[in-house]
Amino acid sequence: MTVRFKEDSNHLTLYTKESSYQMQIDDHGVLLHTWYGAKIDDRASHLIELRDRGFSSNPPDLVPDRTYSLDFLPQEIACLGNGDLRDFALDVAWENGTHALDLRVVNYSWEDKAPDWGVLPHFWSDKDHTLCITLKDREKDLYVHLYYTVYYEYDLITRSLSVENRTDETIVLHKAASASVDFPTQDWTLLHFAGRHNKERARQDYEVQQGRFKIYSSRGVSSHQHNPTVILKGPDATEDFGPCYGFALVYSGGFDITCEGDQYGQTRLVMGLDSQNFSWPLEPCQSFQTPELAMTYSGQGMGKMSRDFHKAVREHLIRSPWQNRPRPIVVNNWEATYFDFTGEKLLEIVDVAREIGLDMFVLDDGWFGARDWDDRALGDWQVNEKKLGMPLRDLVKEVNKRGLEFGLWVEPEMINKDSDLFRAHPDWALTVPGRQPLSSREQLILDITNPEARRHVTDEILKVMAEAENVRYVKWDMNRSVLDTYLAGADRKSQGMYRHLYVLAMYEMTQTLLDAYPDLLLEGCSGGGGRFDLGMLYFVPQIWTSDNTDASDRVEIQYGTSFFYPPSAISAHVSAVPNHQNHRTTPLKSRGIVAYQGSFGYELDLTRLSEEEIAEMKDQVKTYRGLAELVLQGDYYRLTNPFSGEAYTAWSTVDPAGKKAILSVYYHDLKSNYPNPILRFKGLLANSLYELSLDGQVLGKFLGQTLMEVGFRSAYPEENYQAFLYQVTLCE
């Protein structure tokens, strides 16, 4: 039983395999939060302390009791206007302009499956339990429904809420976060993942203290600058030991995350939609549903937390038929040719790709309209046959004839002023009336909240797909922030709906493409990692992790990405050197080992390779084919932190059955007389015998216990940025 209600104490407890989440409906109908953490069979409400505390107001129905105040009690859903002056999840404005909400429990129920939120992405299951708790405002007929779905085997709980207006007035939601979670102590470190374009998801640690620490994206996408994921870890927690909590928003738009230490040593975490750019009118009989928040507890450190997330995402979020299938090894022509290509040049790349043994050729930007540079033709989704020298169908057939599948790049959410579409429909470009629009890379946003514009661009891309006949892969890109928002035809109080409506429209377009081509391998992208989130992974099985393909930088980027996202979702390619983003030169072997960490491919001009490089790439392809299933479905271990200042970074992937494993080590800048580090596997069978090898050479046979506890000396690097890939196989 994953949901339990104790009649004697009005306690609701959710159980996962190794955790408990507990609430209490108190004598006043207030839903208090009493415990989230290690699995317990008892109640934890004895930690709640009622005291007369100065400057903490008391609910009017409890006066003259001065010991009860929502200003310090741990609550299941924090609201503005009930005396709680900490951060809040819900802010409702009434028609008279006041902001007040006092929620009390009305009833609760549970079902044996996860809810279906339609186009809004969500974890899914037909066997796990969902608890719904309904609360009502004490004065008015406004209802809030809290949803909790328990994914028992993964120690995962998803939360969301809906607000239902049963009053006879129009209300406005100014904030509707997915959840607030209270903790009784403040001895936490908050990990979040910040960065910028080409340097995404760098781990940052913040010691929780009194005050509010806010992480957010107001860019209309989850963004390169911040990721909608955080970890709260105990003071001594590591990769392998100690308590930690992981929280991830299942959403692809702007977001708010606030972590607050209050005056009494407690901690509150609030996560949800970007409230800075949000307001949502609710007419009588209307409801609003928030995105899901996924959360997990691990008492065994951040490594277990990550592996639980990886499994849950692969098995209960990603819906693609490619969910558990090895992905094709691709070559993308972007860094090979940029806009300067012909069909003949592309086929030359294909010929070398066939020789190397690749599976798919992906035609990137520049195949449509007058798209010879990035300042024109977005929106003109008609094939430039003059540039290709043939119809796209003929190019696809020729690529297939030469033994490769065909993929295509698109950017459906954008429009250029220099485009036939803009000249025909300037009103479809998102602009604020009376102002010139902000430009980014000379791109404007196509107003996809306009059904006519959305249908047009979707139909044009589907037409290209149908005429090409055999496009097996699509890379969906998005290369700017959503600004100049204006909801045409709406009144002033409705303008704050735009960004959420935009995200829902993008989801609808994506789903339309998948409905038309159910077996399509769809890859997400937003200038690389600008929309790398659980919301997108509901629609796509993998995301272009960063536009930065440098091996050294990718070690750091993929490290940060791995805390919540499985390696199967990490699209990683080998590119040319000097690298196009930072001009660093790294060995080809090292670039391959780093790219093996996810869905593998190439991003360079294959026609410029030497015979030696072609031979090495053939070996890389052969190696990855033997590792693909392990990499994409195995248990992932971070062995070191690339931000720690060490000279090397190591990571490992282990077959869940313990039959085989790999360990990769990447050396950063060489240091004089640096001692060979000792490397240790994790997750092996302690009493089983394994064969350890490097580059096909057997180094010896060892018990799993020895490889995990004693370890082995790494090979010594002979050049900067050298990497090694060790393999262990269970001896029969």
Task: Please name the helix (run of DSSP H) or strand (run of DSSP E) that holds residue 203, with its range, or none.
Answer: strand 199-207
CB 128, CB 152: distance < 8 Å: yes
Q: Which of 260, 274, 411, 533 is catalytic?
A: 533
CB 258, CB 273: distance < 8 Å: no
Residue located via tokens 């979702």: 569
Burial of 508 (0-12, 13-18, 19+ CB in 10 A): middle
CB 482, CB 447: distance < 8 Å: no
Two tokens at 137? 């405002």
Helix axes 588-595, 551-561, angle to 10 degrees: 10
Helix, strand, coil tally for the chain in percent (to 5): 25, 35, 45
506 closest CA partner among 545, 480, 535:
535
613 included as an active-site residue: yes
CB 406, CB 396: distance < 8 Å: yes
Strands 521-524 and 542-544: parallel
Dihedral, CA of residue 628, residue 633, residue 639 and residue 644, to nearest 10: 90
Dihedral, CA of residue 657, residue 658, residue 660 and residue 666, to nearest 10: 120
What is the distance between the alpha carbons of residues 406 and 399, in angstroms, rounded to a whole number?
A: 7
41: number of Cβ within 10 Å = 8
Residue type, 580: H
285: number of Cβ within 10 Å = 10
Is residue 446 classed as helix, strand or coil in its secondary structure? strand
Q: Which of 18, 394, 467, 613 is catalytic?
A: 613
What is the distance between the alpha carbons of residues 662 and 693, in angstroms, rounded to a whole number?
A: 10
533 included as an active-site residue: yes
What is the distance between the alpha carbons of residues 332 and 606, in angstroms, rounded to a whole number?
A: 10
Q: What is the DSSP string of 665-706?
A: EEE-S--TTPPPPEE---S--TTSEEEEEETTEEEEEEEHHI
277 closest CA partner among 164, 176, 171:
176
CB 123, CB 158: distance < 8 Å: yes
Q: What is the C-alpha R_g of the chain?
A: 27
Is residue 257 classed as helix, strand or coil in its secondary structure? strand
CB 521, CB 327: distance < 8 Å: yes
CB 247, CB 295: distance < 8 Å: yes
Strands 678-679 and 712-713: antiparallel
Phi, psi of 621 (to 5 degrees): -60, -45
Is the omega angle on the peptide bond into residue 64 within 30 degrees of 0, that is, cis?
yes
Two tokens at 412? 């459906």
Query: What sign does the CA torsion over 225, 231, 237, 239 have?
Result: negative
Give catalytic residues, as residue numbers. Answer: 533, 613
